[in-house]
Amino acid sequence: MTEKTRTNYIESAIKTGVLPEDAHRIPEIVSLSAPENCRNPIQFWQLFSILGPERIVAIVGDFYTRVFADEDWFTSVFARVGGVEHHTNTQASMWADVMGGGPYYHGAEFRLSFHHTHNAHQLMDAKGAKRWVELMVRTLDASGERMTHDPRVRPSLNTFLAHFLGKYAHEFAFENRESFGETNPPWRRQVNFRNMTESAIEALTEDELREGLEGRGVDVSRFGEKQDLIRKAIGL
């Protein structure tokens, strides 16, 4: 499911300005490995390279333990299909697949659509979404040690979950008012001043100049005016 989900997300993220128009051709974005530069966000199809299968299973298992301890109107829908172990295995497989781990989730998009249409349709509304999100946020809040020390992991997970919730809200025609928390910030292109003319550097905004210089290890706090930033960038 990685390729299809990645393509769909990139198309929507371009429209909202989160990703640049040529995102499909930028290696750091389409790669299944998380970027080493910590200034660049982790796309959710790169999460498997950071989390691996054990952490994914642990997070999903925690979530379904909470699901099966919840109110009957919510829990019963899941219980008709299987127990905690069943749902943990299938959901973790789907996560691993979408997150760049390979074809873990047999049946792919067809199986996912069938499950929500035939097994979980009673919860595919605003009320069901609200409870699902509440339990997932509690799970993620309690799973800090499973997310490694990389602060980019949680926003990436939130982006992944928000993408699918938005997809379901559209497919099942319910209003989506839920939030998982902070999502990935807009992707910023690394500025290579050495390949730019002086006029091109001068045309950059002050924020772009500061980000570009910081990316090269320059302490920009020493420069109070945009012209000072321009001179430093040209000097590189």
The CA distance from 193 to 175, in Å, is 45
The CA distance from 185 to 166, in Å, is 18
Mean pLDDT along residues 194-200: 88
pLDDT (tens digit per residue) in 135-157: 999 999 999 999 999 999 999 99
Tokens 């290579």 correspond to: 192
First CA to last CA distance, the chain: 43
pLDDT (tens digit per residue) in 204-231: 888 888 888 887 778 989 898 999 999 9
Domains and CATH numbers, the chain: 2-171 (1.10.490.10), 193-235 (no CATH)
Predicted TM-score (pTM) of this structure: 0.83
Which structure tokens are listed for 10?
């990139």
Sign of CA pseudo-dihedral 207, 213, 217, 222: negative
DSSP 8-state secondary structure symbol assigned to residue 43: P
The most distant pair of C-alpha atoms in the chain lies apart, rounded to whole Å, by 67
